[in-house]
């Protein structure tokens, strides 16, 4: 067989267009491999830069881009994501980001087989955008963009080297991807998988340094212990415990990689409109008169009946004592707290200086704070949603004014003030389940961490409201368990709960979404009695 130009054709050779189409999948895999090598190289360079500089913040482009996405999410989208994925919201974000980035890598690989220069131009644009995002993050340093640029260079060189020459051959009709080429691509893919394990490994080991430091800490004895809570738990079968274990406590924050903070180098600055600026170290904090308090924390994104709420025993130093030493100036009405990763919360000054015992917390349920809950120090403020108060890995308190400063979520559409609304939830029986006719325990929790809970009532179908039995209330800042004994009759029934706060005000039945300042409505379930 000869080609039209008289040159003998290779056995099994195909037309260039057909060969190119046949090799598209291999070009996509090669492009994906080149991009994975680049990401792995960038993550490795970021780790080296962080290690040499002693930084606790990462210049990793994936983390920066992920944070940039979180920053730009509208309140409604953020609330929907949290409600859909719950505490797996970050995992969902990482998976989505990986799919998008992988599609870009593969697409540029295919493009490189046809138009190498255009593909390299696309690489340049993607790297430039990522570098700009990294350089403009709140925690960016002078050289933060270097790992991104370096990883982009690796990506471009490999993409050009692996695909460029082969694409030229294909367009010239000289050959096609053969077995040797495919084996090469598979080897490259395997190598890319190994290198891309760098960012994956960094994500999986996030906070490991903090965990090591945490293991050596012995918490001081509290000068004032939390009230006894044995009678607070009604021990209803199937209901959640009154005290939430740290492992089951919800985690909602913007940290895509858990900060690793060494207590030996941690410090807290009090600045702004104060008479005296203060720097508090870890060793000094441990010597302060610490107190224990029961406090229930709730996320503003928690929907009616949701589980983004938990109750724990916190150990810490009252923030009001620290602020008293600093001396807030007249006119100041807000404290802007800052996390080590740059996240901020704007908290009313009165909430940190009144008698509610807002804490610089170092302990949770008798143990040092877990890394993902703010180790070594975080803020715990009763009566406020976390987005305006519960700063983890806290490093700065700036006494200021609401007219001057804003916390992280306020310019993104959430209310500047976030008082916790009265809420109640049915934990057993579960909605949609079947129960046996006869005596059925309907149980759950209710909370108003500013005013406490005075009463809980349950309604079956459209019947009258009936009082539930309450567990003890060791602190108004903690939720309260309740149980109602129901004589369940066969059929399908709705069960609704409502709570009354410590001032006598009943929980509103008006249904509103979580944005901009917390959801409202009555939790209702449906059960079938057989």
Mean pLDDT of 6-16: 38
Check residue 246 and give its pLDDT: 96
Mean pLDDT of 51-64: 74
Mean pLDDT of 180-191: 55
Q: How confident is the model at residue 90 (pLDDT cuts 50, 70, 90)?
A: confident
Query: How many C-beta atoms surround the C-beta of residue 492 within 10 A?
Result: 10
Which residues make Cβ contacts (< 8 Å) with residue 5, sequence separation at least 6? none
CA atoms within a 13 Å half-sphere pointing along the CA-CB vector of 439: 2
Query: What's the whole-number average pLDDT of the chain?
Result: 87
What is 3-55 written as a DSSP string?
-TTSPBPPTT---HHHHHHHTHHHHHHHHHHHHHHHHHHHHHHHHHHHHHHT-
Mean pLDDT of 472-494: 97
Residue 189 vs residues 24, 35, 97, 181, 200: alpha-carbon distances, Å: 15, 10, 19, 12, 16
Check residue 193 and give its pLDDT: 58
Bridge partners for 241 per DSSP: none
Place of tokens 């190119």: 20
Cβ 145 vs Cβ 65: under 8 Å: no
Mean pLDDT of 287-304: 96
Which residues make Cβ contacts (< 8 Å) with residue 357, sequence separation at least 6? 291, 293, 318, 382, 477
Place of tokens 């993409």: 159
CA atoms within a 13 Å half-sphere pointing along the CA-CB vector of 172: 8
Give 81's DSSP letter.
H
pLDDT higher at 4 or 245: 245
Q: How confident is the model at residue 138 (pLDDT cuts 50, 70, 90)?
A: confident
Tokens at residue 451, please? 């005013």
Give 216's DSSP letter.
T
Percentage of residues of the chain with pLDDT beyond 90: 64
Tokens at residue 498, please? 């409502």
CA proximity to 457, closest of 477, 482, 487, 488: 482
Residues in the chain: 530
In which element (H, E) is residue 527 found?
strand 524-529
Check residue 91 and give its pLDDT: 84
pLDDT higher at 5 or 137: 137
Check residue 6 and give its pLDDT: 42
Percentage of residues of the chain with pLDDT beyond 70: 85
Q: How confident is the model at residue 401 (pLDDT cuts 50, 70, 90)?
A: very high
Mean pLDDT of 231-237: 96
Cβ 325 vs Cβ 278: under 8 Å: yes
CA proximity to 243, closest of 85, 524, 475, 441: 475
Q: Is the backbone peptide bond immediately before 516 cis, with ω within 30 degrees of 0?
A: yes
Q: How confident is the model at residue 88 (pLDDT cuts 50, 70, 90)?
A: confident
pLDDT higher at 70 or 181: 70
Q: How confident is the model at residue 182 (pLDDT cuts 50, 70, 90)?
A: low
Bridge partners for 310 per DSSP: 297
Query: pLDDT tens digit string along 107-133?
Result: 999 998 888 889 999 999 999 999 999
Check residue 208 and give its pLDDT: 53
Bridge partners for 317 per DSSP: 360
Query: pLDDT tens digit string along 296-317?
Result: 999 999 999 999 999 999 999 9
Q: How confident is the model at residue 437 (pLDDT cuts 50, 70, 90)?
A: very high
What is 122-138 written as a DSSP string?
HHHHHHHHHHHHHHTST
Check residue 177 and give its pLDDT: 43
Cβ 41 vs Cβ 150: under 8 Å: yes
Which residues make Cβ contacts (< 8 Å) with residue 432, sequence separation at least 6? 525, 526, 527
Highest mean pLDDT among 94-108, 250-264, 388-402 belongs to 388-402
CA atoms within a 13 Å half-sphere pointing along the CA-CB vector of 133: 21
Phi, psi of 442, deg, nearest 5: -100, 120
Check residue 244 and give its pLDDT: 97
Place of tokens 């293991």: 215
């Amino acid at each position: 067989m000869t080609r039209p130009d008289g040159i003998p054709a290779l056995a099994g050779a195909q037309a260039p267009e057909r060969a190119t189409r046949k090799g598209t999948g291999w070009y996509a895999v090669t492009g994906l491999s080149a991009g994975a090598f680049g990401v792995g190289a960038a993550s490795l360079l970021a780790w080296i830069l962080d290690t040499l500089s002693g930084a606790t913040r990462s210049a990793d482009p994936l983390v920066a881009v992920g944070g940039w996405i979180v920053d730009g999410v509208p309140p409604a989208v953020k609330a929907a994501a949290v409600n859909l994925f719950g505490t797996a919201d970050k995992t969902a974000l990482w998976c989505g980001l990986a799919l998008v980035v992988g599609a870009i890598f593969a697409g540029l690989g295919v493009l490189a087989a046809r138009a190498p220069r255009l593909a390299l131009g696309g690489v340049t644009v993607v790297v430039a955008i990522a570098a700009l995002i990294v350089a403009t993050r709140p925690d960016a340093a002078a050289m933060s963009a270097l790992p991104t640029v370096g990883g982009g260079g690796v990506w471009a060189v490999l993409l050009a080297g692996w695909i460029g020459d082969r694409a030229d051959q294909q367009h010239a009709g000289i050959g096609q991807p053969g077995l040797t080429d495919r084996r090469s691509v598979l080897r490259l893919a395997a190598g890319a998988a190994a290198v891309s394990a760098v960012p994956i490994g960094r994500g999986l080991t996030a906070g490991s340094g903090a965990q090591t430091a945490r293991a050596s800490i012995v918490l001081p004895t509290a000068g004032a212990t939390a009230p006894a809570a044995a009678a607070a738990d009604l021990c209803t079968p199937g209901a959640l415990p009154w005290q939430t274990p740290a492992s089951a406590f919800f985690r909602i924050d913007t940290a895509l990689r858990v900060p690793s903070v060494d207590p030996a180098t941690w410090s807290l600055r009090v600045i702004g409109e104060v008479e005296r600026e203060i720097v508090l170290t870890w060793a000094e904090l441990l010597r302060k008169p610490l107190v224990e308090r029961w406090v229930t924390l709730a996320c503003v994104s928690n929907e009616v009946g949701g589980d983004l709420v938990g109750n724990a025993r916190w150990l810490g130093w009252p923030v009001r004592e620290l602020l008293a030493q600093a001396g807030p100036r007249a006119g100041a009405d807000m404290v802007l707290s800052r996390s080590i990763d740059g996240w901020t919360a704007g908290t009313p000054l009165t909430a940190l200086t009144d008698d509610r015992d807002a804490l610089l917390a170092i302990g949770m349920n008798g143990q040092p704070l877990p890394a993902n809950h703010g180790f070594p120090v975080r803020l715990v403020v009763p009566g406020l949603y976390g987005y305006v108060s519960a700063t983890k890995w806290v490093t700065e308190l700036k006494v200021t004014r609401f007219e001057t400063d804003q916390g992280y979520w306020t310019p993104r559409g959430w209310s500047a003030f976030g008082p916790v609304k009265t809420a109640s939830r049915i934990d057993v029986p579960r909605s949609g389940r079947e129960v046996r006719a006869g005596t059925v325990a309907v149980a759950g929790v209710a909370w108003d961490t500013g005013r406490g809970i005075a009463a809980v009532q349950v309604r079956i179908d459209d019947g009258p409201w009936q009082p539930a039995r309450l567990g003890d209330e060791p602190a108004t800042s903690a939720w309260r368990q309740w149980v109602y004994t129901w004589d369940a009759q066969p059929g399908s029934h709705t069960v609704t709960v409502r709570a009354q706060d410590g001032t006598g005000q009943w929980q509103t039945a008006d249904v509103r979404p979580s944005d901009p300042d917390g959801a409202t409505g009555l939790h209702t379930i449906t059960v079938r009695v057989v």
